[in-house]
Structure 1
Amino acid sequence: MSFGARPRAVLASLGTLGLALTAAASPASAADGTPTTPTQLFNGNRHCSTDADRPSYHSADDGLVVEGIPGITGATGNSRVGVRYQAWPVTDPTRITTVTRDRVTPGFEAPATLPASALADGQTYAWQAQTVVGDAVSDWSAPCYVTADNTGPANAPTITSPNYPPDVWNEGGEPVEFTLSAGGVDDVEGFEFSWQPDLPVIGTSIGDYGIPQPVDPYSNTKYFKRADALGGSATLSLVPPTGSGPMTLWVRSLDRAYSGSAITSYTFLVSSTAPTVTPAVPKPEFGEPAGFTLRPDPGLQAKSPVVSYSVRTIGGQNDRTFEVAAGADGTATTELTLDGIHGENLQVTSKSANGWVSDAAWWGISYDTTPTVASDAYPENGSGGGVGVPGTFTFAPKVKDVVSYTYTFNNGDPEVTVPADAHHTASIDWTPAADGWYDLTVYATTRSGIQLAPYDYFFTVN
């Protein structure tokens, strides 16, 4: 999973560490304009922090991208400007690092990279930006404050659960309570978790004019939880993605730079909480409405009442999934017309008031919807008649409401459809033109247009 991150090409020219800045060359086409202070300042695709006591944190192993939108007024033509960035340790403002970005379009972000060699791990820096137009420069922006944090959490978090202990079978029906702890790492800001081993990637989408659109990952409570204090812990209340069996939660710690620790996991076992599915009659007929009663697992119902069921049909003419509301006692009824020509299955899960979704109960039935085929002259799996000897074949249904039969001899011949009579049967007369082995394939069609299962009738002409 990604939050819209995408790679960005960054072009930067590096200034000289600790040296005074000389004016950078700018294109002549911008010479007529007046530079204005850059706006929309970002570092590492995160907002600039102008509070010296609350710097933003970033990994700077590969340097740190700083950016702002340069401004110009009174320019004519297609102006190009330059942007100058200065950075220094807050403990030593004389150690200035300068980087520039030349020939950029006013109104668009102009990134440049502060070199990793100028950013010591754990050190806090201030940086600012100005627009350069020829020999003219704007005022400097207010300083932004950032701390280089190149070291991720050394230890994986610890995970405990008071109501679903590991390595034993637990009765399901209530959310799993987890406590996530920082594992003794004092700069852990929060945790990232998932029921899948591949945890989400924290990224930033880029909007119009190249402006980053940073989002606090902890606002996504499906995958992130902020610790109660730096280096502290967090509690989660989660409903597992499936109703029973082994469950695993995967977790890692995040520091303030969003660097992650090693991933750890917590595995526990949940017993089945599947509902029961009972048809109104033991064997519902094909194509006829049939009632079903859905009942909750008693233990599940005791913990939190079942409020609905999700019913999925499998093998029918138009498979679907639909919801059925439960009564106060957790039971529900529904009516279905089963029309799978080989049979049909129902998959049913229950949902409790607390959000718990059970594992699935399965109910199924098989049907033989092939027609019966009979012939005195040409018996099935036998031999009879002969070349030019006519024979009658009679078709009869195994299910209700058949209105026609479609047949072909030896599969390569054209199909022929004949109507069924008042008793839903049909007969055809056929005279072979050659001796040998034959395959008569027949299927019936119902009044509602369902093409039933085909039957192959094999015989030999003498």
Structure 2
Amino acid sequence: MSLGARSRAVLASLGTLGLCLSLAAAVSPASAAGGTPTTPTQLFNGNRSCSTDADRPTYLWAGNNVVVEGVPGTTDNSPVTVRYQVWPVTDPSQTRTVTHDRATPGFEATSLLPNEMLADGQTYAWRAQTVAGGAASDWSVPCYVTIDDTLPASTPTISSPNYPPNQWNQGGDPVKFTLNANGTDDVAGFQYSWTGSLESIVLADIGDHGIPQPRDPYADPGHFIRADATGGSATVDLVPPYGGAVTLWVRSLDRALNPSEATSYRFYVSPTPPTITPADPSPAFGDTTTFTLRPDAALQSKSPVVSYSVHTINGPDGDRTFDVPAGGTATTELTMDGITGEHVEVTSKSADGWVSDPASWDIDYDTTPTVASDVYPENGSGGGVGVPGTFTFTPKVKGIASYTYSFNTEPEVTVAAGADGTANIDWAPSSDGSYDLQVYATTRSGIQLATYDYSFAVN
């Protein structure tokens, strides 16, 4: 199991020292310093916060060892040693000690608790101390951890009162799910996904000086929810991402965030797309048209549509998405600026958070120029070496400012269009054979249109 914890390189030496450890005898010469050591702060275990409450320990999976860490201090910032002691709370005489030599004051110093002593289900206490020269700081307050290397034995159960499984349901209301631990008494919460991909859990980000910034996965209600009690259940309202056949995947998480196997709940949702109606059913490139957006009637009856998300594809500046406020029906203006046509997708959002399936509207048009030559006809042959020919570029759309052309991938040349949008060029070949003339137009607003390939041969 990967919980996304950061791996760290540590220097750890194991000992069997008891609580009556002689501090002076344990100081490493390499850590000698002249400053006064201070008690380590910023204590973490397994990238999770230290719990100083013996009745509420931090639960940790020890399969990849348990990393403990704290920030040591000393008055002269010389390298120091950080000493960690750990013992079973039921038997403090079994204390073990590990150290991190030559630690940098002000930065987290990590070490590994002795893995062979960490038994599944047992609770341990650990504490930290800074050693500099022949002096040692006070011990920190103890942190308490319980080792949990056992994954939840059962998959959770999933039920929904308003979207029964394996049958069609009218969309519009969020799906109310009840997730149950199914008899596993240490389940603390649940993780869920519409995609079937239940991502590994990132326990913490690492901040300045190596200090972990623990993440609470349950702060993400789109993917996690706590159980109402350990071993209990949770109720969550979710909006499926699309209509048709829909599956929710769920797994249980225990207090150490160990996951169970995943289970699934499959149901069917009737599609709820809006309708898209342009004022001009066949707009041309460059036209601005008003579009009327209307909600699905069944969806509107459940919860009013409050906005639409409009997504246009392949425009001159790439794809674009914007929202349109609505009180059910709404209108918006769109300019046809896609160089090969316009593709529009629209979803509606209801007051209760439901997002509809997308509706789409498309139109295709040709923005390539027309190319003609009497001397060098398209897909034919004519002229000869050094024989000039005139090529005429004529637009299929309005607002053309210039044309850019190239013969046989030579450097491009740009010529201005006349008042009627056309342009003429004179050209003479330097050799016979096949030629390919590529031409595109640019509009007065700076949009580069589609390229036309004009092939011919020189006698």
Range into which the TM-score falls when normalised by the shorter chain: 0.7 to 0.9
Q: Does 1:178 align with 2:180?
A: no
Match of 1:331 among 329, 332, 336: 329
Q: In 2, distance between residues paired with 1:387 and 1:212?
A: 75
Distance 1:312 1:21, change over 3 A: same
Conserved 8 A contact 1:81-1:106: yes
Deviations 1:322-367 (A, max 9, x none): 4343442x11112222133432211222222222222221111121
Conserved 8 A contact 1:385-1:461: yes
Indicate the percent of aligned positions where both proteins have the same amino acid: 67
Distance 1:245 1:20, change over 3 A: same
Q: In 1, distance between residues paired with 2:233 and 2:348?
A: 33
- What amino acid is the match of 2:357? D
Q: Offset at 1:133? A: 4.3
Q: Does 1:351 align with 2:334?
A: no
Aligned to 1:130: 129
Q: Offset at 1:176? A: 1.9
Aligned to 1:211: 211
Deviations 1:175-211 (A, max 9, x none): 2221111121101111122334142423223333433
Ranges in structure 2 where 5+ consecutive residues have no aligned partner: none
Map 1:228-307 → 2, pairs under 5 A:
228-240=228-240, 242-307=241-306
| Partner-residue secondary structure (3-state), 2:109 | coil
Aligned to 2:52: 50
Deviations 1:352-404 (A, max 9, x none): 22222222211111213345566778776667899999987766544344566
Conserved 8 A contact 2:19-2:93: no
Aligned to 1:369: 367
- What amino acid is the match of 1:47? S
Aligned to 1:311: 310
After alignment, is 101-110 or 221-230 more displaced?
101-110
Query: What is the CA RMSD across the aligned residues, in angstroms?
Result: 3.8
Conserved 8 A contact 2:31-2:81: no
Q: Offset at 1:126? A: 2.6
- What amino acid is the match of 1:355? G
Q: In 2, distance between residues paired with 1:268 and 1:224?
A: 21
Q: In 2, distance between residues paired with 1:289 and 1:172?
A: 34
Deviations 1:5-30 (A, max 9, x none): 42212221111277963431333874
Ranges in structure 1 where 5+ consecutive residues have no aligned partner: none
Q: Offset at 1:435? A: 8.6
Deviations 1:55-78 (A, max 9, x none): 2222234543333344445xxx66
| Partner-residue secondary structure (3-state), 1:14 | strand
Q: In 1, distance between residues paired with 2:9 and 2:428?
A: 79
| Partner-residue secondary structure (3-state), 1:94 | helix
Q: In 1, distance between residues paired with 2:30 and 2:453?
A: 87
After alignment, is 42-51 or 101-110 more displaced?
101-110
**Matched positions, count:** 455
Distance 1:294 1:87, change over 3 A: same
Q: Offset at 1:128? A: 2.9
Q: Offset at 1:266? A: 2.6
Map 1:86-101 → 2, pairs under 5 A:
86-101=85-100
Q: Offset at 1:460? A: 7.3
Which has the greater radius of gyration? Answer: 1
Q: Does 1:59 align with 2:58?
A: no
Conserved 8 A contact 1:157-1:252: yes
Distance 1:78 1:389, change over 3 A: closer
Conserved 8 A contact 1:5-1:204: yes
After alignment, is 310-319 or 427-436 more displaced?
427-436
Q: In 2, distance between residues paired with 1:425 and 1:98?
A: 87
After alignment, is 446-455 or 173-182 more displaced?
446-455
- What amino acid is the match of 2:214? P
Q: In 1, distance between residues paired with 2:298 and 2:204?
A: 45
Conserved 8 A contact 1:243-1:273: no
- What amino acid is the match of 2:111? A
After alignment, is 191-200 or 21-30 more displaced?
21-30
Q: Does 1:154 align with 2:156?
A: no
Distance 1:363 1:96, change over 3 A: same
| Partner-residue secondary structure (3-state), 2:116 | helix
Q: In 2, distance between residues paired with 1:102 and 1:447?
A: 70
Conserved 8 A contact 2:191-2:198: no
- What amino acid is the match of 1:21? L
Distance 1:112 1:294, change over 3 A: same
Distance 1:14 1:393, change over 3 A: closer
Distance 1:38 1:415, change over 3 A: closer
Distance 1:96 1:413, change over 3 A: closer
| Partner-residue secondary structure (3-state), 1:315 | strand
Q: In 1, distance between residues paired with 2:33 and 2:400?
A: 89
Conserved 8 A contact 2:160-2:178: yes
Q: In 1, distance between residues paired with 2:19 and 2:390?
A: 107
Q: In 2, distance between residues paired with 1:441 and 1:57?
A: 68
Q: In 1, distance between residues paired with 2:345 and 2:257?
A: 42
Q: In 1, distance between residues paired with 2:236 and 2:346?
A: 28
Q: Offset at 1:415? A: 5.1
Conserved 8 A contact 1:99-1:113: yes
Deviations 1:411-453 (A, max 9, x none): 769757474465x566778899999877676655555455554
Conserved 8 A contact 1:3-1:205: no
Q: Does 1:14 align with 2:29?
A: no
Conserved 8 A contact 2:164-2:267: yes
Q: In 1, distance between residues paired with 2:34 and 2:424?
A: 98
Distance 1:362 1:15, change over 3 A: same
